[in-house]
Amino acid sequence: MDLFELLHKDDLSKEEIIFLLNLSTKEDISYLYTRADEVRQICCGDEVHLRGIIEISNYCDQDCFYCGLRESNFNLPRYRMTPEEVIATAKTITNLGIFTIVLQSGEDHVFDTDLIAYIIYSIKQETPAAITLSLGERGFDEYRTWKIAGADRYLLKHETANPKLYGVYHNKQKLSDRITHLKFLKTIGYQIGSGNMVGLPMQTVEDIADDILLCKQLDLDMAAFGPFIPSPNTPYQNKKSGTVELTLKTMAVARLVLQNVHIPATTALATLDVDGRIKGLNSGANIVMPDFTPSPYREQYQIYPDRRCMTDEPQNCRSCLQLQIESIGRRISTSRGDSLKLTPKEIINWSFK
Ligand code: SF4
């Protein structure tokens, strides 16, 4: 296959995606990253959007094999933030000029419909921020209630598009259900995000190509591709991490295929490589998602160990990111960073919701 032609092709087939994911020479991989960066600039511009994460609870009813928050991990100290702590943290984030708040937790039903709705409504009253929910698979009525309360986006990663592997990793859940939830969320007006983990046990490059194609089929607004990192006290604690290179290639190919979606340079990537965020931003990414969960909770949100920037204070984190982003000629956005698929009129309407 002619690499130059492929990198400029609009509609890549599965075979072509696999070919790009298998590129092996430094020179070819560098062409891929450069082209992804060009497409990112055409589709997203040079602004980098920050999404401020608050990990509101590390309780979880699920038992995903790769995750340190799984309910069978009895060694993890558990916490729930109070609504007042969550709302105060959201204000701190917006005071730093960051206008997306991500409320993230395991599947924790103590944070029930009303409590989450109260938190969403309160944050909306007190800040101009967009709210992304990342609370796992919840009830369809809950999604509806939270949308009415003011939530804007929902992040629900599919992790793998291979239904057999999905069943192995998630003994209580099915891929088809996850896809149904994502489609429902989109139907009722959420901007939706999903994505996979790169380097999961037994995963193949063919599976990753299917992940990218599933993201296209779902018409996502955000797609996240982070490396698998083994977590202690899980069935996969002794497995190998995913690699930085395959994660970057996945992000770059995803940028070519998905074009006008938000793609984050993940904290997991920065955990495996101190320059991971910059490498991600140079390979198709346009989003960074810093963690503003207050201490001591942040240390206890151990999806995987030794996450980058575990002890940074909010102001230091914001300044450090600004330096990194400006060092590559980019700038931090001061907008909410809504879906790139919305028309200008729709963006204005979203902003005033
Ligand atoms: S991946 Fe999510 S749903 Fe699965 S155990 Fe971890 S926090 Fe729970």
CATH number assigned to the domain comprising residue 226: 3.20.20.70
Q: What is the pLDDT of residues 231-256, one digit of tens each?
A: 999 999 999 999 999 999 999 999 99
- Among 55, 56, 57, 69, the mutation site with the greatest number of ligand 1 atoms within 8 A of its Cβ is 69
Query: Looking at per-residue confidence, does 239 or 343 come out higher?
Result: 239
- Is residue 25 situated within a structural domain? no
- Give the strand pairing for 287-288 and 264-265: parallel
Q: Look at residue 315 in the predicted model and tell me its pLDDT.
A: 86
Atom of ligand 1 nearest to the CA of 159: 1
How far, CA to CA in Å, does 155 sit from each of 24, 41, 90, 178?
32, 24, 18, 11
Would the pLDDT of 347 be above 90?
A: no
pLDDT band, residue 342 (cuts 50/70/90): confident
Cα of 283 to ligand 1 centre, how many Å? 28
Atom of ligand 1 nearest to the CA of 106: 7
Closest Cα to atom 5 of ligand 1: 70
Domain containing 63: what range?
A: 45-242+295-351
Cα of 237 to ligand 1 centre, how many Å? 15
What radius of gyration do the chain's Cα atoms show?
19
- Is residue 264 situated within a structural domain? no
- Is residue 152 situated within a structural domain? yes
Which residues' Cβ are closer than 6 Å to ligand 1? 60, 62, 64, 67, 69-70, 106-107, 136
Cα of 343 to ligand 1 centre, how many Å? 34
- Is residue 276 situated within a structural domain? no
Cα of 189 to ligand 1 centre, how many Å? 25
Q: Look at residue 295 in the predicted model and tell me its pLDDT.
A: 92
- Is residue 342 situated within a structural domain? yes
Cα of 156 to ligand 1 centre, how many Å? 11
- Is residue 271 situated within a structural domain? no
- Is residue 279 situated within a structural domain? no
Cα of 69 to ligand 1 centre, how many Å? 6
Rounded to two decimals, the pTM is 0.96
Residues 6+ apart with CB under 8 A from 177: 137
- Is residue 105 situated within a structural domain? yes
Beta strands in 84-180 (DSSP E): 100-105, 130-134, 153-155
Atom of ligand 1 nearest to the CA of 68: 6
- In the chain, how many domains are there? 1
Would the pLDDT of 352 be above 90?
A: no
Cα of 158 to ligand 1 centre, how many Å? 11
Length of the chain: 353
